Amino acid sequence: MTAPALLTGTDDGDLPARGSSRAWKKLKRNRSALFGFVLVAFFVAIAVLAPILPIADPAATSWSAIRKPPSELYWLGSDEIGRDLLSRMIWGARASLLAGVVSVLLAVAVGVPFGLLSGYFGGWTDQIISRITDALLATPFLILAIALAAFLGPSLTNAMIAIGLSATPIFIRLTRGQVLSVKTEDYVEGARAIGLSDIAIMWRYILPNVFAPVLVQATLTVATAIIAEASLSFLGLGQQPPDPSWGSMLNVAKNFMTQAPWMAWWPGAAIFLVVLGFNLLGDGLRDALDPRES
Amino acid sequence: MLTFIARRLLIAIPTLLLVSVFVFTLQKLLPGDPALVLAGEDRNPEVLAFIREKYRLNDPILYQYAYWLGGLVQGDLGVSLRTNQPVLQLILDKLPVTIQLAVMAMIIAMAIGIPAGILSAVKKGGPIDYIANFVALSGLSIPNFWLGIMLILLVSVELGWLPASGYTSPFQDPVRSFQTMIMPAFVLGTALAATLMRHTRSAMLGVLKADYVRTARAKGLGERIVILKHAFRNALLPIVTLGALLFGELLAGAVLTEQIFTIPGFGKLIVDAVFTRDYAVVQGVVLCTAAGFILMNLIADVLYFLLNPRMRATL
Amino acid sequence: MRQSLLAALLLSASALVALPAAAADLRIGLQEDPDVLDPDQSRTFVGRIVYASLCDKLVDITPELEIVPMLATAWSWSEDGKVLTMDLREGVVFHDGTPFDAQAVKANIERSKTLPESRRKSEVQSIESVEVTGPMQVAITVNEPDATLLAQLSDRAGMMISPSAASAAGADFGANPVCSGPFVFKERIQQDRIVLTRFADYWNADAIHFDSVTFLPIPDTTVRLANLRSGDLDMLERLAATDAASVKADSRLVYADAVSLGYQGITINIGNGERGDNPFGNDPRLRQAFELTLDRDAINQVVFEGVFAPGNQPFPPTSPWYDKEVPIPTRDIAKAKELMKEAGHETFELEVQVANNPVQTQLMQVVQSMATEAGFIVRLKSMEFASLLADQTAGNYQASQVGWSGRTDPDGNIHQFLTCNGGINDSKYCNPEVDALLDKARTSNDIAVRKESYDAALKILSQDLPIIYLYHQTWIWALDGKVEGFVPFPDGMIRLQDVKFKS
């Protein structure tokens, strides 16, 4: 945006290694991205360290502490059967981060290649992939999820698969749309004219353009995936009681909105912070990987 | 252009068939016997046998699908196992409700998301950018049920401004219809606004650095014109795709929001139907929402054409 | 701000003036959307709430569960207990003008027995024939003495629908039900509302004080209560137990409750397929040990704020059929451990399936936590109801948390679950001694004989424990302060006779 950027222009000839090390430097200089990184890292650390942190057993109940507001004994309060919300939040971070991140990675890993193929080659490949994508997109998430539960048996892993699969078509569509708009650009036509292979063109010229919207969508989907895990544990497909996840904690809190509002505060706030973290980090990555930005 | 649309409409038929096969198979994979759910608490064996016979639950799956398809060709979507009502009637009852909610939610989402995205991109890194991001992401991560219940408790119970829940047709009483729909539409809209805002921001950041925007700036055009006429027009492409997708999703219904505001739309209908194994209803409604979805995609593609002239050559 | 306040005041003032002229519409919030509105095909509890305003029955019950006249004014059993003669009320018409008479009763009972879609078949199974013995008298012959028949006729099996409308509509009767109750069916929008309007020719019209009733299904309990508080509802059913205290404290609302006829418990697979063949199904000592880990009062306090009724039998402790000699056992971990040791287990791993609604899940997590202390490692399998039901019927379970909505006659809560050939005996518990006692209780019209048989059976069952009963739900209604005359019934119904708005 500044004058030097104008002068530098686009340098497509950069080697990947040099580009990424420069991107890393840019990322470190970006304060909001750093903040996002710290947020995400904090929750990941909590999730990883849960077993060794000095906290109460997340399943230990106390009949004398039913839905107690935050206090010295229960820092975040206690839940509907007298369990410590702090330790449930910490243990719940594991299930929720896994559900959020793994399912999105799955969706991206499957969705982007198919979107590339579909958009780049067009014709029958595009027709088949697009029709299947349309059919998948049009199928309600819930039907897919219950059917998977029947197939695989209820567990957190299967919940991640179900969420990932249902988020896949949107990445296919997004990638395909982006490819369609880029492949008519002059530099792609040029690359084709000089005889570069399809794979090389996709890798060097198309994929970088797909990256930004996919990254944005991915950081947003992490949020919906964490919330989707809630509906799945509600259907008996996700985390099984009494093991906690933020989503299932929210589900329970829904019934105590007036009696014990704090039960919804913590998982809600945690999801917000994680989502904020992933989005800021995503923004930073996006800028850092954009060669036009200094 | 017209041949393109006609071709796409033709292609929609196999897609819809694919959806119906897909949903039918998935439903048959579900555990649980619809006859058990429908026979009543005491599960009389005679009644069980009758239900299995009447709804052909003992027939091979392929036959069952063929019966359904046969009915469909004659315009018969079957009857609800749960209430004996014709599925077509159910869909016609709920379609206007669902569309009304989807349109209102989409308007709210666009009204918030797109301007916020543009502003945030233009003022990137400044306080406005941070505030816009913060608000949009809260909209995304605040659970719909929480916002919904809070709104009901505040606006309806405390202040008494709006009815707490329920639905009124706009043809019966347009004012009340708007009043009952505005809170659920807001709840849905704010969640979508975040997605729209983030994508608008991203797309705008992309085009603001493009050559033609620089050229426009260099020509000394006013900043407002550069942003709205040159930059935003080009940033619209991914936003249109996404908008169509989001709208298509809205058409399939929003279960939790519908449940909290007690709006008789597709979301609640389809979830209840899945839970009671009401096959005919699930098949019929999914077919309908899928058709709506495909239509939205077609509209998105047509807009693509109009916005990006260079693409016409490729199709 | 001030202007809008003024406008609001003016509006409410005009509303007050307009009130006496306005039609009295009672708006009732329901927890679910009812299923098909045909008394012979209906299968949900919530549907029966609508019928209470729509369809009169041959007999009704009092809150104390005594059978009282409704469309039948008097009845008597023959000496051998095989013929029930009923005299019918004169001057009753159905909503379509068809007169109510003996022929109509015959047609109705035959429809319940023979309509292929009928869900009433088990309830009227004992009826062999219905004879018209006078224009206003019928004689119902049963194949063996049936003490439960009158109670069956006080519910859906005894609801009288217009025979002409029924024969015209066939199985589609539910789209436009025609009965003889205080209100006429007007319209229904699925998952939105059911509207009934006052029936001018109702035989007991003086007791009815509303021009119309609107039933609104609002599944979310918090939202249902918010609607009552904002004035969008006049009353609601099944208030969450956790909201009871706040309703009681609200001077603008009225609270009413009644312990239900049903129960919630844990059904144990004893002989239903291979999965019944495990130590928990085979050794009653393990089940006894499990029961001893439970503190039912604490469960009630933790999950239901003490509003429900703890119980250990198919009937609530308030019922005359409750066996006081088998009281709720007090929690005894030491004894539970001892029993487990006797059965040869230090710890025991048990899988319990539970419906995936938040309250049942909360309940089972409390049970899980209690049982842990004696060495039971309970794994909860939270399932969607249709899958749970299928697994339970097929015997693909070890233990299952389920309940029963309850019947007026005690037989309905026990016979079909615990006799060897019982229609819904998912435990496949089979004890000839219990069978004999329950059969005896079913066929005798002598209350003392019945009570004695049930007591004897309950003593055996409390040792065998094919079902570990946990609690009895309490029906809770919340009403706007302006509604008066509502009487809570243990069947959970809303009877609108003599209910009105305060003037």
What ipTM goes with this model? 0.85
Q: Which of A66, A154, A256 has the CB atom closest to C302's CB atom?
A: A66
Q: CA C473 to CA C314: how far, in whole Å?
A: 12
Q: In terms of Cα–Cα distance, which of B293, B280, B283 is closest to B252?
A: B293
Instruction: Determine, for residues C192 and B39 on separate chains, whether the beta-carbon distance falls below 8 Å.
Output: no
Q: CA C403 to CA C470: how far, in whole Å?
A: 9
Q: Please name the residue of chain C whose CA is at the shortest distance from the CA of residue A252.
A: C358
Which range of residues forms the domain containing residue A159? 93-184+211-246+268-289
Q: What is the CATH number of the domain that holds A238?
A: 1.10.3720.10
Q: Which residues does chain B have within 8 Å of residue C41's beta carbon, measured at their own beta carbons?
A: 84
Q: CA A239 to CA A43: how far, in whole Å?
A: 19
Sign of CA dihedral C217, C222, C228, C231: negative
Q: What's the pLDDT at A8?
A: 29
| Neighbours, chain A (3 or more CB pairs < 8 A) | B, C
Q: Which residues does chain A have within 8 Å of residue C376's beta carbon, measured at their own beta carbons?
A: none
| Number of domains chain A is built from | 1
Q: Which residues does chain B have within 8 Å of residue C188's beta carbon, measured at their own beta carbons?
A: none
Instruction: Determine, for residues A184 and B311 on separate chains, whether the beta-carbon distance falls below 8 Å.
Output: yes
The Cα of B293 is separated from the nearest Cα of chain A by a number of Å equal to: 6
Selected residue of A43, A142, A192 to mutate for chain B interface (largest B Cβ count, 10 A)? A142
Q: CA A175 to CA C477: how far, in whole Å?
A: 54
The Cα of C301 is separated from the nearest Cα of chain A by a number of Å equal to: 9
**pLDDT tens track for C136-170:** 999 999 999 999 999 999 999 999 999 999 999 99
What's the average model confidence in pLDDT over B181-197? 91
C324, C330, C332, C333 alpha-carbon torsion, rounded to 10°: 120
**Is residue A81 in a domain?**
no
**pLDDT tens track for A13-70:** 333 444 556 667 777 777 888 888 999 999 999 999 999 998 889 989 998 888 999 9
pLDDT greater than 90 at residue B123: no
Q: Which of A127, A212, A250 has the CB atom closest to B143's CB atom?
A: A250
pTM: 0.87
Q: Provide the pairing of β-strand C348-355 with C376-383.
A: parallel
Within 10 angstroms of residue C356's Cβ, the number of other Cβ atoms is 23
**Is residue A118 in a domain?**
yes
Of A181-195, A201-215, C38-52, the range with the highest mean pLDDT is: C38-52
**pLDDT tens track for A71-130:** 988 999 999 999 999 999 999 999 899 888 999 999 999 999 999 999 999 889 998 998
**Is residue A16 in a domain?**
no
In this predicted model, which residue has the larger pLDDT, A34 or A141? A34
Sign of CA dihedral C221, C226, C229, C234: negative
Q: What's the pLDDT at B125?
A: 80
Q: Average pLDDT of chain A? A: 82
Q: CA B204 to CA C49: how far, in whole Å?
A: 57
CB of B248 less than 8 A from some CB of A: yes
**Is residue A152 in a domain?**
yes
pLDDT greater than 50 at residue B204: yes
DSSP state letter for B156: I
Beta partners for residue A75, in sequence order: none
In this predicted model, which residue has the larger pLDDT, C259 or B256? C259
CB of B170 less than 8 A from some CB of A: no
Q: Which of residues 383-402 of C touch A (CB under 8 A)?
A: 383-384, 387
Q: Average pLDDT of chain B? A: 85
The Cα of B244 is separated from the nearest Cα of chain A by a number of Å equal to: 11
Q: What's the pLDDT at C119?
A: 92
Q: Give me the residues of chain C with pLDDT under 70, please.
A: 1-22
Two tokens, residue C191: 């998952």
Q: Which of B32, B40, B90 has the CB atom closest to C390's CB atom?
A: B32
Amino acid identity at C177 = P
**Is residue A179 in a domain?**
yes
**Is residue A150 in a domain?**
yes
**Is residue A159 in a domain?**
yes
Q: What's the pLDDT at A7?
A: 29
**Is residue A68 in a domain?**
no
What's the average model confidence in pLDDT over A201-226? 84
DSSP state letter for C269: -
3-class DSSP assignment, residue A282? helix
Q: Which of B30, B203, B308 has the CB atom closest to A147's CB atom?
A: B30
Amino acid identity at B16 = L
C91, C92, C95, C96 alpha-carbon torsion, rounded to 10°: -60
**pLDDT tens track for B153-165:** 899 988 989 988 8
Of A124-133, A246-255, B301-310, C486-495, the range with the highest mean pLDDT is: C486-495
Peptide bond into A242 cis (omega under 30): yes
